[in-house]
Amino acid sequence: MTLSTLELCQSAPMIPVIVINDLAEAVPLAEALVDGGIKVLEVTLRTPVALDAIREIIASVPGAVVGAGTLKSAQDVSDCVAAGCAFGVSPGAPAGLMEAVAAEHFPFLPGCNSPTEAMSLADAGHEVLKFFPASAAGGVPMLKAMSAPLPDIKFCPTGGVSLDNAKDYLALPNVVTVGGSWVVPGAQVMDGDWDAIRDLARETAIALGNR
Ligand code: 3PG
């Protein structure tokens, strides 16, 4: 079943931004996150093993809802659809990328950080937008200001979001979920400390409200 981006975001206390360097980490990392209550996963296309990692997680971690992040081109869209990604995310919304997203009917969170960009993307039918880089682009005050004239445009702020400030974002009426890398700290992943990742995911899911 294909979930809309709004349904995906509503089901996620947060969406972890994941960078996988070693393919062997993919499945145990995803299992730890899902065990901890974080099920919607964004595996970024920033490493050569990213698409293989996505395929392995989809094949081996049935509880995970696996999407891809850092999509930049039409080829990235084709690759992600072929790999079976449930959704895609981008830091921006260049024309070539968005044409491919539309042609594939691919559930997608395009990136933006201004009212004009948000209005254009909402007009094009995107239900949820990635607000990026959230803290550098004005954070909670900026999103709060946008909610007054544009209450129907929903966001997933990402970039500088942490367990300390996530609740401030989630309290806004135009924020459906948040994204961030804090549940996948590099040191724990490199040490294979999956229990620590699971505990961090659980702490996060409980703090932000299990969905
Ligand atoms: C990213 O694309 O790397 C995300 O914006 C993650 O940002 P964070 O590391 O500040 O959570």
Q: Is 39 a catalytic residue?
A: no
Question: Residue 136 has what pLDDT?
Answer: 98
How much distance in Å is there from the Cα of 75 to the middle of ligand 1? 23
Quick one: the chain helix, strand, coil %, rounded to 5? 45, 15, 40
Q: Which two tokens stand for residue 159?
A: 């970039």
- Contact present, 129 and 110 (Cβ < 8 Å): yes
| Intra-chain end-to-end CA distance of the chain, in Å | 18
- Contact present, 105 and 85 (Cβ < 8 Å): no
Question: Residue 186 has what pLDDT?
Answer: 87
Q: Which two tokens stand for residue 27?
A: 């499945």
Q: Of the listed 25, 39, 56, 130, which one is catalytic?
A: 130
Question: Residue 19 has what pLDDT?
Answer: 97
Question: Residue 187 has what pLDDT?
Answer: 83
204 touches ligand 1 (CB under 6 Å): no
Query: Looking at ligand 1, which residue's alpha carbon is closest to its atom 9?
Result: 181
Q: Of the listed 25, 31, 39, 42, which one is catalytic?
A: 42
pLDDT 10s per residue in the chain (211 long)? 688 999 999 999 999 999 999 999 999 999 999 999 999 999 999 999 999 999 999 999 999 999 999 999 999 999 999 999 999 999 999 999 999 999 999 999 999 999 999 999 999 999 999 999 999 999 999 999 999 999 999 999 999 999 999 999 999 999 999 999 999 998 888 899 999 999 999 999 999 986 6
Question: Residue 46 has what pLDDT?
Answer: 96
**What is the Cα–Cα distance from 200 to 197, expressed in whole angstroms?**
5
Domains and CATH numbers, the chain: 5-208 (3.20.20.70)
* Among candidate residues 144, 120, 118, 119, the one with its CA nearest the CA of residue 131: 118
Measuring CA to CA, how many Å separate 84 from each of 8, 20, 68, 162?
15, 17, 10, 29
Residue bearing tokens 């500088």: 160
**What is the Cα–Cα distance from 114 to 131, expressed in whole angstroms?**
9
Question: Residue 189 has what pLDDT?
Answer: 85
* Among candidate residues 70, 62, 68, 77, the one with its CA nearest the CA of residue 43: 68
How much distance in Å is there from the Cα of 132 to the middle of ligand 1? 9
Residue 206 has a CB neighbour count (10 Å cut-off) of 12
**What is the Cα–Cα distance from 77 to 66, expressed in whole angstroms?**
14
Q: Which of 161, 169, 177, 182 to mutate to test the pocket of ligand 1 (most atoms within 8 A of CB)?
A: 161
Q: Is 154 a catalytic residue?
A: no
Structure letter (DSSP) for residue 2: P
How much distance in Å is there from the Cα of 135 to the middle of ligand 1? 10
At position 155, the amino acid (one-letter code) is F
Q: What is the ipTM of this complex?
A: 0.90
Sheet strands side by side (includes 154-157):
111-112, 128-131, 154-157
Q: Could you tell me how far CA 157 lies from the centroid of its own chain?
A: 9
**What is the Cα–Cα distance from 121 to 108, expressed in whole angstroms?**
11
Question: Residue 1 has what pLDDT?
Answer: 65
Residue bearing tokens 């005050």: 141
14 touches ligand 1 (CB under 6 Å): no
How much distance in Å is there from the Cα of 196 to the middle of ligand 1? 20
